A = this chain, B = another copy of it.
Amino acid sequence: MERTLVCEATAKIGQKITIKGWVSTKRDHGKLTFIDLRDRTGKIQLVGYQKMSELGPEDCLSVTGTIKERNEKSINPNLPTGKIEMDVEEYSLLAKAAPLPFDITKEELDLELPTLLDHRSLTLRHPKVQAIFKVQAVIIDSFREFMKQNGFLEFQAPSIVPEIAEGGSEVFQVDYFDKKAYLSQSPQLYKQIAMTAFERVFSVNKVFRAEPSVTTRHLTEVVSLDAEMAFIDSWRDVKDMEDACVKYILNQVGERCIEELKLYQASLPKTIDETPVLSLREAQQKIFDKTGRDCRGEKDLNPEDERDICKIIAEETGSDLVFVYGYPTKKKPFYVFPDPEEPEFNQGMDLLCRGVEWSSGGRRVNDYEQLMKHVEEWHMDPNKITLFLEAFKYAVPPEGGFAFGAERLTMQILGLGNIREASLFPRDMERVDFKLNK
């Protein structure tokens, strides 16, 4: 008999159907056995005969029976299939589960993070853990949707790269035959190259950071959502695109992840039509005015500044989002565009939300002469970025772009405590699937 999904069962009252899935919970009541069976679309209650009491948690079944309405008293308003149950006629065991190392039927898994990750294969069966990756799939998918709707072409950014022109020790080295190669820290230069041909490009790609940190915010491998666009009139065009993009993503998550957000009691960030935009100095002044804490003249916002400015802006405007632009030119990479009116500050920007950075972007240097001057001033070796420089040698209009980290967005939207929870197979200094041995 053809398989029916759990989510389709409510429409089959009175019909005999076959459901396949895993035993989530089981309760024996004398001659009857009650089982919650889980498939990818939800859970359904089975009412079975005595023999079913042989079944244990996570056993995998095919079960055939008739769908009937529950009596009034047994209705479960918290379950989408709460008004029905299946009277089991027969079942067959598709696979028998070993005894579980811990109970995964509780609403909260309540495990220490190392246990959660050591047993990723099992904990991934828990609805709350699954919710994280359903939300992440929607974030990534809606990023791509928005980009395609706005004429951006998807391209594949490379992971293996030659020696990094900017230097930096936080890069992984690869034994590349008898030579050396590296893992990409950012598709920045590649997306700029692709932009010079296709005008508007985006990519969903891996980036790798060899930062020797084991904090709640560090992973060595993350998914970066990148976009770059040519023919802008000013950096504000990039800001507007980024703003519309993040609002689209939030909107899609709100529409497509209702149940998942509920599981985490997560409320989406509040947005307003005109997301507030402040220069770094305006933000610092505002923090000083409101809190008395003086960070004016600092080169960047520190985590406390980020929390403060987000709080102040949310109170003043109702927006959880705020753009901060105009960082000291020399503190940022060579490709960031200096403000022509005030070249010691640039037209790079960060998008902050609820106290943390969600995205960064801005206008880039598009003029070849200026770019070559920056390469010199930033003490970079032009021979290491020949493809990039050649792209700009043959005329590139004003342009800019932005990037989001998929895990960070997932973590922030669901309010997770550790970014490792937002990566299906998280990698850090100490873990690649399991704890690494020296």
Contacts and interface: CB of A to CB of B under 8 A. Distances in A.
Interface stretch (A26-34, A71-79, A119-127): A119-127
A88 interface: no
Interface in A391-437: 391, 393-398, 406, 423-425, 427, 429, 432-434, 436-437
Overall SS of chain A's interface: mixed
Interface stretch (A43-51, A196-204, A307-315): A196-204
A231 interface: yes
A223 to B, nearest CB: 5
A174 B176 contact: no
A215 to B, nearest CB: 15
A60 B434 contact: no
Interface stretch (A156-164, A261-269, A293-301, A373-381): A156-164
Contact of A395 (B97, B120, B199, B231): B97
A336 interface: no
A245 B20 CA distance: 24
B95 A425 contact: no
Contacts of A39: 199
B121 A140 contact: no
A24 to B, nearest CB: 12
B221 A159 contact: yes
Interface in A168-208: 172-179, 181, 183, 190, 193-194, 196-200, 204-206, 208
Contact of A194 (B124, B193, B368, B388): B124
Interface stretch (A147-155, A276-284, A317-325, A349-357): A147-155
Contact of A121 (B155, B193, B438): B193
Contact of A199 (B40, B181, B429): B40
Interface string A109-131: 00000000001111011000010
A377 to B, nearest CB: 21
A140 to B, nearest CB: 7
A98 B181 contact: no
Interface residues of A, number: 94
Contacts of A429: 177
24 contacts: A22-B395, A60-B395, A94-B398, A95-B368, A97-B395, A121-B388, A121-B390, A125-B197, A136-B156, A156-B223, A156-B425, A158-B221, A159-B221, A160-B183, A160-B208, A160-B427, A173-B174, A174-B174, A174-B175, A176-B432, A177-B210, A181-B432, A190-B424, A387-B433
Given A158-B427, A159-B159, A176-B432, 16 more contacts: A100-B394, A121-B387, A121-B391, A124-B193, A130-B197, A130-B198, A133-B198, A134-B153, A156-B424, A159-B208, A161-B432, A175-B175, A176-B220, A177-B212, A204-B204, A386-B434
